Structure 1
Amino acid sequence: MMQKEIVFARQPILDRNEQLVAYELLFRGESKEDNLKSMRMTSSLLTGFLSNDYQSVLQDKKGYVNMDEMLIKSGAVDLIPKDNFAIEILETVEILHVVDRLEKYKKDGYTLVLDDFIANMDEFDRYLEFFYLFDVVKFDTKAKKIDEEKLVQIVESLRNFGLKLLAEKVETKEEYEKYKDLGFEYFQGYYFMKPEIASQKMMLPQKRSILELWSLGEDDFDVIVKKLAEDPKLSINILKLLNSSYFNLQKEVSSISQALAYLGIRNFKKWLLLMLYSQDGDDIETNPWLDIAIGRGHFMVQAASAFGLDMDKASLVGILSVFGEIMEQEGSKIARELPSLDKEIVDAIVSMDNPYGKLLQIAKKIEKGDFTSWQDEVSQFGMEVQKIASCYTEALRASNSL
C-alpha cells in the first residue's frame, strides 16, 4: 500500500504530584521474538512523527522511545528532536558497543533512559561503569529477581550518580507509595492509567528505492534528485520532514533539489535508514496511485518545459496533487501542512488559477479520458492544444520506461 497506518499505544508517565510529564510510546510485544517487529514499529512511528505534527500525540509532553542497538548505531537519533523525545536504551543493548554514540548524545543534550533495570547487585554491577551516561533509570517493579534487601542501598547508590528514578509497571496504591517513599521521581503503570491507543499515517516507499538511494554518496546529489523526482512517495516524505517542527524551516521550497540541499545528504541517509527499518518483511505492492503520480509528474514537467514554466515547480504540483487525493485532503490542508511551499505551488494546488494549476486541471481531465473539454480554455494561457497532446504522449512514454 502507498499509505500505512501505524497503531501504537502511549502510556502516561507521572511525577510525585501525579501530574503528567511524559508518555512512553509502546510497541514491544510480550516476547523477545517480537523485538524486531517492535523496532520496525518504532522506526515507522519515528518516520511518521518526523513527517507530521508529533505534538498532536505528545501534547507538549516528552515522548519516551525505545531504541535497540541497531537503531542507535544507525545514527537515527540525530534526527530526533532532543527537546521532545527521550531515548530509552533497551536492556538487550550491549552498552559497550554503543558507548561512544551515547556519550555524544549525552553531550548534545539528549535525555537518555536506562530501561527495565532490575534491582539486584548483579544488574547494578553490570551497569556500574555506564551510569554516568544516563539521566533516568526505569525500575522494573515486577521483575522476579529484585533483591528487596538491597533495594534501599541500590537506590541510594544511583542517587549518588545524580540519576532520577522511574518506577514502571506500578499497579497498586501500595506499590506507588512504596516507591514514592523510596524517593522515586516518576511513575508509570496501570494504577494510574492504562495505555491509550493512537495512530499515525505515513507514506511508505518501496524498499528497492530506499536501498538504491542509500547506496549513493554525497557526490551523487544530482542522481539522488533525479531518483527522488521519480518516486512520489519519497518526495512527499522529504517535504513533510522538512516542514516538521524539528527543522523549523524559514524559507520557501520550490524544488526537490532545494529540499535535499536544506536537509543535507547525511541527514537524508539517516532518514532513509529509518524508512528502511519501517518496512515489513515483504515488498510493498504496486499501487495504481503510484502510476498516476509518476505519470502526472512527468506530464507536468514536459508541459512546463514546452511552455517556458519552471519544471521543478510543475513536478511538485503534480506529485502533491496526487498525494492530496490519496490522503483525501483538500489542497488547503496540504498547504497548511507544508507551510514552506512556494506560493505558486500552493495556488496551483488550492485554486488552480495560475498556469501550473491550469496544467494540473488538464492532467486530471486527460487521466479521466476527457480529451476535449479543456481545449477551449488553454489559449488564454498561451498554450497550444497540439503541444499539450504531445507532452502527454511523451509523459506516458517516460512513465512506462521506469
Structure 2
Amino acid sequence: MPFIEPKQPLKMPDPYQDQDEAGRPQTFAQPDTQDEGDEAISSAQFVYVGRQPILDRVGALHAYELLFRGSAQNHAVVSDDAQATAQVVVRTIGGIGVPSVLGTHRGYVNIGRDLLFDDIVHLMEPERFVLEILETVRFDAQLIARIQDLRGAGFRIALDDVCEMSPNLRAALPHADIVKIDFLATDRTRLADLAQSLRGRGKTLIAEKVETREDFAMARELGFDLFQGYFFARPQVLSTRRARSSRTSLLRLLALLALDAGIVELEAELKGNPNVVMQLLRLVNSSAFGLGRNIASLREAIIATGTRQIARWAQLLLYAGGGDLPWRSDPLVQLAGTRARFMELAARWIRPNDEAFADAAFMTGVFSLVHVLVDSTPDATLDPLDLSPLIRDAIVGRKGPMGALLSIAEAAGEAQDAAAIASAQSRDEFAALTPMVLAELNLSAAAWFGAHLAE
C-alpha cells in the first residue's frame, strides 16, 4: 500500500506549549481576560471529555481514545485513575452523549483493576467501547477470569503503554486483542523485534505517542495497524452543561426499582425528573439494543434499558448528585456509598447464590443514611417510599438478617469490632464473616467508592 499522509498536517508548536520530562508537548492555559473566579464558575457549570483520534494506515479516522478533562483547558491533572475513568464514562454516556462524542466510531477507555470488576463496565456497550487496561494492572488468575467474562460479553481488550516484553505482558497477551506500543518510551533498537513478536501472536498493533513524521514512517514500515499521537492531532475537548438530578426523586426511583415496580409507576416517577430522563434516553440510545432506531419515548426507554441498568445509573447519579460539597469532599456521601457496597459484598459472602439478598443489602446501605441527606428522620424519609419490610425494618429497627448486616457495616465503618457483632448472631451463616474477611470487604468497599467518584 502506498504511503499516504495523514489527513491533518503536522502543526508547529505554539507559544503556550511546553514539554514534559519525556519530551511530550504539554499544553497550558492561554492567557485571556477571564479571571480565575470566572473560570472556576464556568468549570462548575460544565462537564468535559477529551478525545484523541486513532487513525488507520491510510490516515482515516478509526476510533477515539477518551480522556479525562476537568476544564476547557486541554490538559488533565489526574490524582485517581479510577475516578477519572468513572467521570469519562458518566460524561460520555449520560452527559454529552455517545453519538456526539464518538459518532459511528469506537471509544477507547482507560480502565484499572477496580473498575474492571465494577458494574460501571456494563454501562458501556461492548460494540462501542474498547477497555484499555492501564500498564500498572497486574494479571493474576482472578483478573484473567474477569477479562474472559468481559471478552465473552463482547468487549475488546487493549493493553496500554507497552514498551517491552515483560513477564506481566506475557501473562496478559493471551487475553488481549490490541496492544498499544509507546513510541516515546520504547527502546528503538528493540522496537522491531517487539512489534514482530506481537504481530506473530495475532495482535492488532497501535503506535501511540507518534509525534514526528519519522516515527509515523517507521511505524508503518514495521507493520503497525493503527496510529495515535500529536503528529496527527492533539486531543479535542468536548463539553456540555452539567445536569443536576434531584436526590429526592432519585431516592423515590430507587425505591420503586427495589419493589420491582411496573413500567407505569417508573414512567410517572421519571417524568418528574427531566435531567434523569434526558440521561436515560442518552444511555439507551448509546447502546445497540437491536431496535434499528433511536428511542424517544420514555416508556420505550424503560423497556429497552431494563430496570437493572436504570438502577445502576440512578445509584451513580445519586452519589454524583447536587449537594453543596463536591462528591469527593462529602463525608456523608462517602459513608453511604462505602456502607452500601460493604453490605452488598457481605451479603454475597454469606449467601453467594442469593442475588436478590445482595441487591437488597446494597439498597439498605443506600437508604440507611438518606434521612440525613434530605434532613429528615428515618421514619419520615422511608415511609413515603414504601420500601420492602426487609429493608425498612433493617434500617428503623435493625431487625432480621439485614438489620444484622447493617449493624456490622456500621461497626466496620467506625473501626469497631464488627466481627464480634457477626459472631453474636444466632444464624450460622454469619460465622463466615471472620475478622480477616471483614477487613478485606471493608477495603474493597472503599476501593469501590473511589472508583465511583463523579461530577
TM-score (norm 2): 0.51
Q: What is the deviation of 1:168?
A: 1.0
Amino acid at match of 1:112: I
Query: Any residues of structure 2 matched to 1:122-137 within 5 Å, and which?
Result: 124-137=166-179
- 1:15 matched to 2:56? The reply is yes
The answer to whether the 8 A contact 1:15-1:185 is kept is yes
Q: 1 CA distance for matches of 2:235 and 2:83?
A: 19
Amino acid at match of 2:229: G
Amino acid at match of 2:151: K
Q: What is the deviation of 1:200?
A: 3.8
Distance 1:80 1:211, change over 3 A: same
Task: Provide the residue aligned with 1:27 in structure 2.
Answer: 68
Task: Provide the residue aligned with 1:331 in structure 2.
Answer: none
Of 212, 221, 231, which aligns to 1:172? 212
Q: What is the deviation of 1:209?
A: 6.0
Amino acid at match of 2:184: K
Task: Provide the residue aligned with 2:280 in structure 1.
Answer: 238
Which stretches in structure 2 are left out of the alignment for 5+ residues? Answer: 1-40, 70-74, 328-455
Q: Deviations over 1:147-191 (max 9, x none)?
A: 444433322221232101111111111111222222111111111
Amino acid at match of 2:47: I
Q: 1 CA distance for matches of 2:161 and 2:229?
A: 13
Distance 1:160 1:216, change over 3 A: farther
Q: 1 CA distance for matches of 2:132 and 2:321?
A: 22
Q: What is the deviation of 1:70?
A: 3.3
Query: Any residues of structure 2 matched to 1:146-165 within 5 Å, and which?
Result: 146-165=186-205
Task: Provide the residue aligned with 2:429 in structure 1.
Answer: none
Q: 1 CA distance for matches of 2:246 and 2:58?
A: 47
* Partner secondary structure for residue 102 of structure 1: helix
Query: Any residues of structure 2 matched to 1:2-401 within 5 Å, and which?
Result: 5-27=46-68, 33-48=79-94, 52=97, 54-96=98-140, 97-117=142-162, 119-121=163-165, 124-143=166-185, 146-201=186-241, 203-205=243-245, 219-221=259-261, 228=270, 231-244=273-286, 246-247=288-289, 249=291, 259-272=301-314, 274-275=316-317, 283=325
Q: What is the deviation of 1:126?
A: 0.8
The answer to whether the 8 A contact 1:6-1:44 is kept is no
Task: Provide the residue aligned with 2:400 in structure 1.
Answer: none
Distance 1:127 1:238, change over 3 A: same
Q: 1 CA distance for matches of 2:241 and 2:130?
A: 22
Distance 1:176 1:273, change over 3 A: farther
Distance 1:30 1:188, change over 3 A: same
Bigger Rg, which one: 1
Q: 1 CA distance for matches of 2:254 and 2:116?
A: 18
Amino acid at match of 1:42: V
Distance 1:30 1:23, change over 3 A: same
Q: Deviations over 1:106-129 (max 9, x none)?
A: 123322211122x224xx211212
Distance 1:32 1:280, change over 3 A: farther
Task: Provide the residue aligned with 1:381 in structure 2.
Answer: none
Q: Deviations over 1:27-55 (max 9, x none)?
A: 16656525255224313323326x84x23
Q: What is the deviation of 1:273?
A: 5.0
The answer to whether the 8 A contact 1:47-1:274 is kept is no
Once superposed, what is the RMSD of the aligned Cα atoms? 3.7
The answer to whether the 8 A contact 2:210-2:229 is kept is yes
Amino acid at match of 1:113: A
* Partner secondary structure for residue 184 of structure 2: coil
Tell which has more relative contact order, 1 or 2 (C-alpha 8 A, sep 6+).
1
Q: 1 CA distance for matches of 2:210 and 2:294?
A: 47
Which stretches in structure 1 are left out of the alignment for 5+ residues? Answer: 286-402
Amino acid at match of 2:209: K
The answer to whether the 8 A contact 2:52-2:236 is kept is yes
The answer to whether the 8 A contact 1:10-1:25 is kept is yes
Percent of aligned positions that are identical: 34
TM-score (norm 1): 0.57
Q: 2 CA distance for matches of 1:245 and 1:195?
A: 24
Distance 1:233 1:20, change over 3 A: closer
Amino acid at match of 2:308: R
Amino acid at match of 1:165: L
Task: Provide the residue aligned with 1:326 in structure 2.
Answer: none
Distance 1:133 1:203, change over 3 A: same
Amino acid at match of 2:157: L
* Partner secondary structure for residue 92 of structure 1: coil
